[in-house]
Structure 1
């Protein structure tokens, strides 16, 4: 297996926005240990992405995405090149408010030849970002599908889930 880092983003107290963290938590619990695999809950930080990319051959990011116009739970897989191409080069960006997509763009410039060739982004469409623990049923179902998709992509067997209750 390629040396891989899995990075999940989200806010665990903002309902469906916790989806990236949930997927990462499930992968941490349900995938077998592997010395070539790092699984990190990045929370709402993004600048740290720069430090996780170096030394890995493959990076997979997971997050929720709002305002897609698609139903909650719609799953997207984007190659990093598509995300990086959408970023405006802003030399005045405040690093403490840097988002992971911006971090990818800057990392490519900073790391140059050390930037991983295999970078992918998985997004799940969400609308509920209210203060609440737990996710809506559609987003939770998509998160569980994504756990399986990522495990398959890595060629690893995933253990069965014990899913939390969905938010009302």
Structure 2
């Protein structure tokens, strides 16, 4: 089975406790995936605008990030198509590129890449509450991250496991 070139991006701040869940997930995926030629596993940290350059040449994108203030239990997992959470690009030429989030960056990417923009984009969000200065994930969020790893391996990358 020929696979789509897939980019898996983890977002988060590793110094802000549960906000680092996207980074945790991609670190775990690297252990399973290894050096697959059609898979790029990208630690995006908090620099979302670089997503424009990382998307080129991929037909499938998987993003993992934390989401706060959902009103749901910590560790609740959401899987949503990217178009459901994309923010409209701002036409302001002075937009501060280091302050935009991945949802805005995807909108800019769609505008810039036009027909080369991948249509297959999935977003995995994990509900968090703790973004205090701390290097450890809470047990609930880590457990949800492990679940996301298994879902991605089974549903998105089943051809390699």
How high is the TM-score relative to the length of structure 1?
0.89
Give the Cα separation in 2 of the matches to 1:56 and 1:90. Answer: 24
Structure 2 unaligned runs (5+)? none
- Structure 2 counterpart of 1:21, from 20, 23, 31: 23
Give the Cα separation in 1 of the matches to 2:32 and 2:17. Answer: 22
1:154 aligns with 2:157: yes
Correspondence list, 1:1-20, <5 A: 1-20=3-22
Q: Secondary structure of 1:5's match?
A: strand
Residue 37 of structure 1 is matched in structure 2 by 39
Q: Tell me by how many angstroms 1:95 deviates.
A: 1.1
CA RMSD of aligned residues (A): 1.0
Correspondence list, 1:111-122, <5 A: 111-122=113-124
Query: Would you say how many aligned residue pairs link Structure 1 and Structure 2?
Result: 155
Give the Cα separation in 2 of the matches to 1:57 and 1:38. Answer: 12
Deviations 1:99-126 (A, max 9, x none): 1000001110110000011011110000
Structure 1 unaligned runs (5+)? 158-168
How high is the TM-score relative to the length of structure 2?
0.93
Correspondence list, 1:78-93, <5 A: 78-84=80-86, 87-92=87-92, 93=95
Q: Secondary structure of 2:79's match?
A: strand
